[in-house]
Each structure stands twice: as structure tokens, then as C-alpha cells.
Amino acid sequence: MTRLEELYPETPVPLDHKDAFTLLVAVLLSAQCTDARVNQVTPALFALGDTPEKLARAEVAEIEKVVRSCGLGPQKSKAIQKLSEILVAEHGGRVPACLESLERLPGVGHKTAQVVMAQAFGVPSFPVDTHIHRLAARWGLSSGRNVTQTERDLKSLFPQSAWNKLHLQIIFYGREHCTARGCDGTRCEMCRTLFPGRKPPPRKR
């Protein structure tokens, strides 16, 4: 998508991290939480431990105290501590560059695993979250009723070489111009260009 490339020629990963492990933890924390909030929390968390070995030894209660403001604190803190243990015991303290192995880690779903594969290891992936799912439908790129179908549609539309960058470009554009409340499919530049004759949905009373 030429316009997205013009607007976002550079696509830095919005979550602060230094390696595959800190990225994995940050992406896990970002579930139902903003990237900005995660970036506020991770310095204290990584001061507690920035390697699987260190966080495997941390108390779950210590981790939860730090990550509580990200939401789902009990679940996320247990997942972080347990996946750290598994990485040490089964992967030599390294994050595996394998989608299936990542998806077997506690708290790591398909989208999280794909983000790590794309951004930590450069493997062509197209992580689809609710934002991309919404925009793909709004822009006529997918009629999928779930993120799995949307991911399949987007992968069929664009070359593998574009996937890792394009998924971030769509996220950046959606956050800035085509938000759930800020655009009804007729207001932003992309929606107006793609569907100039689209009518706004009727207002609910």
C-alpha cells in the first residue's frame, strides 16, 4: 500500500525491548493494554530480571506488583515466571525461533508468537490483532469474521516481503487516523480514497 509507505517509511517496534526475550515479555504484557503503559512498566520489570534465568527465580508476587497496572496482573505475572522457567529448562535460556514452540509457552498466543517471529527473528509473519482485523474489514481487504480468516486473507493479498513492515504500518495508521471511534469508515483519508461513495452508518438512538 503505497500511501502507508509514504506515511510510515520507518516502522520502529512500538514496545521498548533489547532482545527477543524482553520483546516476548513486552508483547505478552500488551494484551488488553496500551503500548505506552507497557513501556512505562517494563523498566521496573526488567530491573527485576531481564533474562529468563533471572525472572524464573523471581517471585510471582514480585512480578505482579510491577505489572499490575497493565491489567490481568495475576495471569500475566504467572505466565512470565513460568515461561521463563520453561525457556531455561527446555531451550537453554533462549527464546526459540519457532512459532509452534512459542505458542506452547504460557500466556503466548498466536498473535504474540507471530510478533516475536517477525520483529525478533525477521521471519515473514502477519500478526493480526483486533485493530488490524477491524481495518482490514473497513478497507475491504477481508470479510473474515475472526482474526484467523483475516490473517489468511492479508497473507494472500500481499507478498511475504511486505508482511513484517505492513502490519506495523496498518497499526500506526489506525491509531493515528482510523480509530474505532474517530472514523466510521468515511472520515479518514484511506477510507475516503478507497470508498468515496460510502455512506456513514446510521446513528443509534
Mean pLDDT of the chain: 95
If we measure between CA atoms, which residue out of 91, 22, 26 comes closest to residue 51?
22
Q: Are 94 and 102 in contact (CB under 8 A)?
A: no
Per-residue model confidence (pLDDT) at position 131: 87
What is the C-alpha separation between 104 and 142, in angstroms, rounded?
28
Same domain assignment for residues 162 and 95: no
Same domain assignment for residues 41 and 92: yes
Per-residue model confidence (pLDDT) at position 14: 96
CATH of the domain at 164: 1.10.1670.10
Query: Which of the residues are catalytic?
Result: 111, 129
* Residues of the domain holding 110: 20-121
- Residue 64 has a CB neighbour count (10 Å cut-off) of 17
What is the C-alpha separation between 43 and 28, in angstroms, rounded?
15
* Residue bearing the bigger pLDDT, 130 or 27: 27
Has residue 2 been placed in a domain? Answer: no
State yes or no: pLDDT of 47 exceeds 70. Answer: yes
- Counting other chains too, the contacts that 8-13 makes at CB distance below 8 Å and 24 or more residues apart are 8/168, 8/169, 8/172, 8/173, 11/165, 11/168, 11/169, 11/172, 13/119, 13/168
Q: How many domains does the chain have?
A: 2
If we measure between CA atoms, which residue out of 68, 63, 28 comes closest to residue 46?
63
Has residue 28 been placed in a domain? Answer: yes
Cα radius of gyration rounded to whole Å, the chain:
18
Same domain assignment for residues 100 and 181: no
What is the C-alpha separation between 14 and 117, in angstroms, rounded?
16
Report helix angle 20-29 to 73-91, nearest 10. Answer: 160
For 111-151, what is each residue's pLDDT tens digit? Answer: 999 999 999 999 999 999 988 999 999 999 999 889 999 99
